Amino acid sequence: MADSTIITGQYVQIEQTPANAGARLIARIVDYILMVVYCFAVVVCFGFIADSIFFDNDLLVILYFIFLLPVILYSLLWELFNRGQTPGKKLFGIRVVMKDGTRPKLSAYLLRWLMLIVDVYLLQCIGILSILLTKNSQRLGDLAAGTLVIKEKDFRKINVTLDEFRHLSINYRPVFPQAENLSLEQINLINQTLFRFDQERPVRIRELAGKVRQFLKINPAVSDEALLQTLTRDYQYYALEDI
């Protein structure tokens, strides 16, 4: 089931498809296998070392803990440094993202990792039920962190399309609130007019800007082209705000 919608500069809607419970479960099994293999290798290595070198028991426990940290932090480290993918997730083409399609921050990854204690390690049935029953297939950690696990193909589309909105900074504020009242078809017409470069372009821009001023009941002291460009940015702002 699709959840978040990303609207591109051409106003094409990109839907994020949450990964199903089966794919997530098998991906986690793959990760568990890798963790078990690593733990086995650590135990074997320490067995050889303990036979040849004397270690104080307390020191041995500390060393064990240090070498097992990669297992304890497995999900957190992989997702943080591999853009939301553990080896299991990468194998099955799924990835962790925020609900708006962007890459999660450290706080989101950390919260997901902490919640593993509840919905995977302590109450596995709760985590699975949460994925099966929630609208966007989210375990408790996802609900708490505001994340989704989606199919990789959707993430690639979102990455490409979000680049088109880089001109909208975090502090951007719309100049014309009336832009929110424009329809998708009207914005498409404005874009087509702005990006069609021929001899008739100035005339078309002037005529369209006049109709826009009349329709929105605005008459700012800016050029016709600047007005149309600003309206498209303002429309994008409101479109993204609704995602």
> Is the pLDDT score of 151 beyond 60?
yes
Tell whether 113 and 196 lie within a shared domain.
no
75 SS3 class: helix
Joined together, the tokens standing for residue 110 give 């950390």
Tell whether 105 and 217 lie within a shared domain.
no
Q: How many domains are there within the chain? A: 2
Tell whether 31 and 61 lie within a shared domain.
yes
pTM of the model: 0.61
Q: Which domain holds residue 57?
A: 5-162
Chain centroid offset of residue 95 CA: 8
Give the model confidence (pLDDT) of 158-210 as tens digits. 554 554 555 555 577 888 999 888 887 888 899 889 888 888 999 999 999 99
Q: Which of 99, 127, 162 is where one domain is finished?
A: 162
Q: Which of 101, 128, 162 is where one domain is finished?
A: 162
**CA–CA distances in Å: residue 114 to residues 34, 110, 129, 229:** 20, 6, 18, 45
Strands (E) across 119-186 are located at: 147-151
Tell whether 96 and 142 lie within a shared domain.
yes
pLDDT for the residue 72: 92
Q: Which of 98, 127, 162 is where one domain is finished?
A: 162
Tell whether 72 and 145 lie within a shared domain.
yes
- β-pairing, 5-7 vs 13-15, is antiparallel
